Amino acid sequence: MTPVNLMLTNRPFLSVSRSATGRVWRDRLDVRGSQAALAISQRHHVPDLVARILAGRGVDLDEVPAYLDPTIRALLPDPDTLTDMGGAVDRIAAAAAKGEQVAVFGDYDVDGATSTALLVEVLRAAGLDPFFHIPDRIFEGYGPNVGAIEQLAAKGVTLLVTVDCGTTSAEPLAAARRLGMDVVVIDHHQAGEHLPEAVAIVNPNREDDLSGLGHLCAVGLVFVTMVGLLRKLRQIGHWTAERPAPDLLAALDLVALGTVADVVPLKGLNRAFVSKGLIALRRRERPGLTALMDCARLDGPPRPWHLGFLLGPRINAGGRIGDATLGTRLLLTRDPAEARAIAAELDRLNSERQAVEQGILADAEAEAQAALGIDGEGAATVVVSGAGWHPGVVGLVASRLKERFNRPAFAIAFTGDTGTGSGRSIPGVDIGRAVRAAVEQGMLVKGGGHAMAAGLTVARDRLGDLRAFLEAELAPAVARSSGEGELIIDGALTASGATPALLEQVARAGPFGAGNPEPLFAFPAHRLTYAETFGNGHVRARLAAGDGTTLKAVAFRCAEEPLGRAILGARGRSVHVAGSLELEHWQGETRVGLRVRDVAEIG
């Protein structure tokens, strides 16, 4: 069945001016956008709904073929467009040529693990045997530290390469220099005016970088750097028949995983990384990721949400509550038996992490609700803290609070008089900049990050000052971001039109994620024939169209929220439903499911 055609007016989509979640539904396309969609459909012979999705994401008429098939070759820039890239490549190539002892210092999250694994793999292919160090979140904290650098120096390291960290690590990098090490930084976190001393700092977010690649995460930058390194090593004759250059495209599974897990915008080169990386993942050639996919009981071909919600959290679990090196070791091993053992341990740690998170989240939500008031219209930011909270899960708690209260959220775990915290933001609100400003004003012991996520360390007696500072800094942007409270709809369907064939066509406009939002579809006047709660506060339901066709639906973590109550209260009645579609694989069957984002009365 073809998508339902609706008249374009200035009225809310389906006349929904206030939904169950308090939002106005709006058509993503205005009149001009609809005309662009029609032109795309006619010239490129794509389904009307796919054309609407492309037009809604600003794809020009002439760019459609390239957008539907993003390639690394077409989108990869010359590495030298990045400031300091020449110095970074020259120094690493010199280390390879001389057989120096190199160490890679990474971060304990997925981006850090994939960045470390990719760099180590290439250095091994170049004939080196590099050390790698992933800091313990609790005992070492984020980024390079003097103690770890001293240990690496004692092992004879002459070149230290930091990945996904290092941009703000002035003191540790100065210590490395005193101990006779050269340092190369490959990072994407926001940079201040003053940078640490290093041979090279490759960071598209430094103030003097004009590459326009600030949307890349660390593993994407490492990939671009490795392109430059392989080119340099080829120029100096390093690669031989006995020591061939590695196939970087085979490592796109790592790049895709880090890109999705770090929630960077899926635009330009990032889309190509994820699109081609998913193909690499399907080949199941990396024992560690194959074992992890099996542990996670991944259904069907890997998709972006699998990377973000099944694989990423398991790799993160080691850094959160276990051994921080587990994720990198898993990604590097070529031994299937070792891969299965590490994947099983990460799976166990992830279950343990979920239990720890749930206990802390209950306390955090209660504190946040008390601060925001019954109507939730209090402060523009959420800042919660607790003694004895596990520092490894505060980022996840902040993310949950951000989702529930739709505003930037910070969760801080105090041990004695010092707290370690993480923040998560909403689109349009840059918390990384606010955290850096708090550091510059002496309000924080340390802190940094990027627009959507940040980490910080704060003294207990400055918590009140920090809360007031973040409120003052972020409130105007939060107000602008909240706006009217709209849900943007890409098109309308009936249950019979939501077919696997249609979703395969829609997927061509993906991969979807941050910066390239999952399309949202409205299902007008569908009857809720069934609805019940299940699991940890989830709601499942079944929609029926007028012709009797049904569609299974689920809404996560909302049973006690307005959305969940509205679904349960509408059993047996017809309502408008909005959500995203996904393919589900079960016992050899492929079917379409709806992830509900909102419902509205017919009126």
- DSSP for residue 430: -
- Give me the pLDDT at residue 515, please: 84
Domains of the chain: 13-28+486-600 (2.40.50.140), 75-283 (3.90.1640.30), 373-482 (3.10.310.30)
pLDDT band at 561 (very low <50, low <70, confident <90, very high): confident
| In contact, 394 and 411? CB cutoff 8 Å | yes
Which of these ranges, 4-8, 89-93, 121-125, 211-215, has the smallest mean pLDDT?
4-8
Q: What is the mean pLDDT of residues 265-283?
A: 95
What percent of the chain is predicted at pLDDT more than 70? 97
Q: Which two tokens stand for residue 493?
A: 């369907």
Nearest to 155 by CA among 94, 101, 75, 221: 101
List residues bridging with 544 in a β-sheet: 527, 550
Q: What is the mean pLDDT of residues 17-43?
A: 94
pLDDT band at 517 (very low <50, low <70, confident <90, very high): confident
Say if residue 8's pLDDT is above 50. Answer: no
pLDDT band at 483 (very low <50, low <70, confident <90, very high): low
Say if residue 4's pLDDT is above 70. Answer: no
Which backbone phi and psi does 132 adopt, to 5 degrees? -135, 145
Give me the long-range contacts of 142-146 (CB less than 8 A, separation at least 24): 142/107, 142/108, 142/448, 142/455, 143/107, 143/168, 143/169, 143/172, 144/105, 144/169, 144/172, 144/173, 144/176, 145/172, 146/171, 146/172, 146/175
Q: How far apart are CA 425 and CA 354, in angstroms?
A: 21
List pLDDT tens digits, range 38-66. 999 999 999 999 999 999 999 999 999 99
Q: How far apart are CA 176 and CA 157, in angstroms?
A: 10
- Give me the pLDDT at residue 1, please: 39
pLDDT band at 406 (very low <50, low <70, confident <90, very high): confident
pLDDT band at 91 (very low <50, low <70, confident <90, very high): very high
Those residues with Cβ within 8 angstroms of residue 466's Cβ, 6 or more apart along the chain or in another chain: 383, 438, 443, 444, 456, 458
Q: How far apart are CA 369 and CA 353, in angstroms?
A: 24
**Consecutive H or E run containing 563:** helix 562-569
Say if residue 500's pLDDT is above 70. Answer: yes
**3-state SS class at 64:** helix
Task: Please give the residue that has the higher pLDDT: either 404 or 25.
Answer: 25
What percent of the chain is predicted at pLDDT more than 90? 84
The rounded mean pLDDT for the chain is: 93
Q: At what angle do helices 48-56 and 500-507 cross, to 10 degrees?
A: 30
Q: What is the mean pLDDT of residues 457-473?
A: 95
Whole-number CA gyration radius for the chain: 25
- Give me the pLDDT at residue 7, please: 41
- Give me the pLDDT at residue 10, please: 62
Q: How far apart are CA 89 and CA 76, in angstroms?
A: 17
The string of DSSP codes covering 200-268 is EEE-TTSTT--SS-TT--HHHHHHHHHHHHHHHHHHTT---SSSPPP-GGGGHHHHHHHHHHTT----T
Per DSSP (E only), the strands in 388-430 are 409-415, 418-424
pLDDT band at 377 (very low <50, low <70, confident <90, very high): low
- Give me the pLDDT at residue 482, please: 67
Which residue in the block uniquely carries the two structure tokens 């099983």?
Answer: 344
pLDDT band at 376 (very low <50, low <70, confident <90, very high): low
Cα distances from 505 to residues 11, 49, 54, 586, in angstroms, run 29, 9, 12, 21
Q: How far apart are CA 467 and CA 480, in angstroms?
A: 20
Cα 357 → chain centroid: 19
Q: What is the mean pLDDT of residues 510-529?
A: 93
Those residues with Cβ within 8 angstroms of residue 55's Cβ, 6 or more apart along the chain or in another chain: 29, 33, 34, 36, 37, 40
Q: How far apart are CA 333 and CA 113, in angstroms?
A: 13
Task: Please give the residue that has the higher pLDDT: either 219 or 404.
Answer: 219
- Give me the pLDDT at residue 57, please: 93
Query: Does the bond joining 135 to the residue before it have cis omega, within 30 degrees of 0?
Result: no
Say if residue 582's pLDDT is above 60. Answer: yes
